[in-house]
Structure 1
Amino acid sequence: MAITLKQLHYFVALAETGGFGTAAQAVHVSQPALSAQIRDLETHLGAPLVDRLPRTIRLTRRGQEVLARARRILAEVGDLEQAVRWHDGLSGRLHLGVIPTVAPYLLPDVLTRIRARDLTLDIRVREAQTDALVEALGRGQIDAAILALPVPAPGFEAIPFLSDRFLLAGSEQRLQTWAHQAARLSPHDLVPEQLLLLDEGHCLADQALEVCGIPARRQVDLGASSLSTLCGLVSEGFGLTLLPELAVRTEAAAARGLRLMRFAAPEPQRDLALVHRGGGDGAWAADLAGLLRDAGSTLVARARDLVPVAP
């Protein structure tokens, strides 16, 4: 009996979840069915792949080797399916990953644009931090991801689609402190102790620290889980934060006490890109990047209407 893709899929699920019950739930089969497939795989390979412990499993040395190869095989199969599915452009099924500081602002507009082009496209969205999306992309669990450059892993193709500038956000009283130097305000002028950022793991927090020239996280108050939380805090006078243009329209409307100020040129920014594994016909990725560029440019233009760029 030959090894099947089903067996490899089940084995990867088992390794990632750490238990037969949770793995069975993840792949939507009964636990006996999953256990039988794992036993058949071990029989075919002639070696145990997992140590069955009372409440969990542990991969054997052979199991760790099989896991690495199984992930590569499943990713290759995913690429094959993708190449055939999207031979004629963006159509069929799309598994898209998006970082949390982009998803709530860009997705509503871009999904509307995608639906206007093709109502039959089946879109599945996963919102997660950069490292999780890069891992999912490498395993073939998603087709593409919207990330901020640079991508923290080699081997992917990136199509930049938007330069998203940062604005200084805070209460009116807080920003009044900087009014006298608005024409020459630099991120490096900010006092680290006044800066609030997203909790560790969000790439936006790392980018903000970098543009402000702050080398150590311990100097900054980190802990908010979303930009909306940050904007609510700073609008009430609890420090300052950096807000990307992409989020300006939504957050300015939600936090009524929020005030925004631009930095002097060159304004700090993040560069957003559509990242995919590459290979085959990349027309679908170019199509999608074009839609992202259109949607993003619209949001940025609205932000610049609210907070004009200095002439």
Structure 2
Amino acid sequence: MRPTLRQMEYIVAVHQLGSFGLAAEKLHVSQPSLSNQVAAVETDMGVRLFDRGRTGARTTARGLEFVTRARRILSEVEALRSTMLSDLPFGGRLRLGVLPSIGPYLLPQAMKALHEDEPELRVIVREENTLSLDEGLRNGRFDAVISTPEDHPNTFQRPLFVEPLWVAVAQDHPLAGRSRIGAADLAGQRLLTLDTGHRLARIVYGIAGASGATVSDDYEGTSLDSIVLMAATGAGIGILPDLFARRQGIHRSEVRVMPLEMADADRTISLMVPVDRSEGLADHMAGILRGAAETLDLAVVRG
């Protein structure tokens, strides 16, 4: 089937070096052979990839599109080969998705421990909301995600810890003098949360229903920082996860941050990997993450 991987390599090399002769020399083939293979692709696809001239080869617009896609394909093939030949977990490259409210606080400790354990393992981290993490896990963009388990069915799941929730109110809010907040304190209040692409929003809707509060329908935060800022203006009561609240929220002078003590005012955070991955890999990674969670005084879940 054309273009073959070798033909893609030829075309990418010509683009990089701007010369058929230099590309042939780099790839240890004769220039006529390389030129014939590139011409065969152009004929087969009905496009001109290069403008040839005395000064070399200039990549056309269609050629640039070909090179961009060919590089992506060649990179994936190389990654596949490395994975098959590697004895390292995840084939030597772990693509990890994580909730933005978890990553900055949990991962520094976890990545240090993981590097000490597997110094040759390369970790690529992306922070995304719950829906995007699930999509990425299903289409192969992620090897594993750290998220709320309810949103990732049909995966190997390893619980890590339970994270309680806190509230943030403006300094002049009637509740600002409390040391902790209960369900009765939320009655009639307006709650601020992230957009519905996050599990946190669904938890907050449950809290509102159980306490007689309402969820703001004219504002959905895109980040926890924006929730704090809205709470500081008196727009409502911000609901924050424990890690963010203890690591950042309590240091913010414009708000008062307090623990929320009521039923179901927490969320479970787990490690998820696709079902075609080894459960041993999930257990290995989960152990490292639980160790990092313990250093942060989180309620670690075993099993």
User: Which of the five TM-score ranges fits, normalised by the shorter chain?
Assistant: 0.5 to 0.7
> Aligned residue for 1:199?
195
Answer whether contact 1:83 1:280 (CA < 8 A) is retained. Answer: no
State how far apart, in whole Å, the 2-side matches of 1:263 and 1:297 are. 21
The answer on whether the counterparts of 1:93 and 1:121 sit within 8 Å (CA) in structure 2 is yes
8 Å contact 2:167–2:239 — kept in the other structure? yes
Tell me the SS of whatever aligns to 2:150: coil
| Equivalent-residue separation in structure 2 for 1:171 and 1:157 (angstroms) | 41
The change in CA–CA distance for 1:80 and 1:136 in structure 2 (over 3 A counts) is: farther
1:139-150 alignment, distance < 5 Å: 139-150=139-150
Matched position secondary structure for 1:174: coil
Q: Could you say if the C-alpha distance between residues 247 and 213 of structure 1 is closer, same or farther in structure 2, counting changes exceeding 3 Å?
A: same
Shift in Å, 1:121: 1.7
1:247 aligns with 2:252: no
CA contact (8 A) 2:186 2:213 kept: no
Cα distance between partner residues in 2 of 1:38 and 1:147: 46
Answer with 1 or 2: which has the greater Rg: 2
Task: Give the aligned partner of residue 282 of structure 1.
Answer: 279
2:36 aligns with none
**CA shift digits 1:31-66 (9 cap, x unpaired):** xxxxx989979xxxxxxxxxxxxxxxxxxxxxxxxx
User: Contact 2:191–2:215 (CA<8 Å) still a contact in 1?
Assistant: no
Summarize the Cα distance change of 1:201–1:222 in structure 2 as closer, same or farther, 3 Å threshold: farther
1:115 aligned to 2:115?
yes
Aligned to 1:272: 269
Deviations 1:94-139 (A, max 9, x none): 1001122222222222222222323322111121122222122112
Q: Is the 8 A contact 1:197 1:205 kept in 2?
A: yes
What aligned pairs does 1:140-289 form with structure 2 within 5 A after superposition? 140-152=140-152, 154-174=153-173, 176=175, 179=178, 182=180, 185-186=182-183, 189-192=186-189, 194-213=190-209, 219-252=216-249, 254-266=251-263, 268-289=265-286
- 1:89 is displaced (CA, Å) by 4.2
Which of the two has greater strand per residue? 2
Instruction: Return 5+ residue gaps in structure 2 as ranges.
Output: 17-39, 46-75
Correspondence for 1:106? 106
Relative distance call for 1:219 and 1:227 in structure 2 (3 A) is closer
Question: For residues 265 and 198 of structure 1, do their structure 2 counterparts lie closer, same or farther at Cα, with a shift above 3 Å needed?
Answer: closer
| 1:176/1:210 CA distance change after superposition, 3 Å | closer
Q: CA deviation at 1:269?
A: 0.8
Which residues of structure 1 form unaligned runs of 5+?
8-23, 29-35, 42-74, 303-311
| Distance across 2 between alignment mates of 1:253 and 1:178 | 14
Is the Cα contact below 8 Å between 1:79 and 1:140 reproduced in 2?
A: no
> Residue type matched to 1:230 in 2?
I
Q: What is the SS of the residue equivalent to 1:261?
A: strand
Identity of aligned residues (%): 27
Tell me the distance in 1 between the aligned counterparts of 2:229 and 2:293: 23
Q: 1:217 Cα deviation (Å)?
A: 8.5
Q: Do the aligned residues in 1 keep the contact of 2:158 with 2:270 (CA within 8 Å)?
A: yes
- Corresponding residue number in structure 2 for 1:135: 135
- Cα distance in structure 1, aligned partners of 2:236 and 2:42: 54
Instruction: Label 1:257 to 1:297 Cα distance change in 2 as closer, same or farther (>3 A).
Output: farther
Question: How many equivalent residue pairs?
Answer: 244
Cα distance in 1 between the residues matched to 2:214 and 2:3: 48
Give CA-to-partner distance per residue, 1:260-283, whole Å, 9 cap, x none: 222335451111111110235322
Q: Is the 8 A contact 2:165 2:265 kept in 1?
A: yes
Structure 1's 245 and 216: CA in aligned 2 closer, same or farther, altered over 3 A? closer
User: Secondary structure, in 3 states, of the residue corresponding to 1:107?
Assistant: helix
Q: Is the 8 A contact 2:93 2:122 kept in 1?
A: yes
Whichever residue aligns with residue 157 of structure 1, its letter is F
Distance (whole Å) between structure 2 residues aligned to residue 239 and residue 164 of structure 1: 22
Question: Retained in 2: the 8 A contact 1:105–1:250?
Answer: yes
CA–CA separation in structure 2 for the residues paired with 1:108 and 1:299: 11
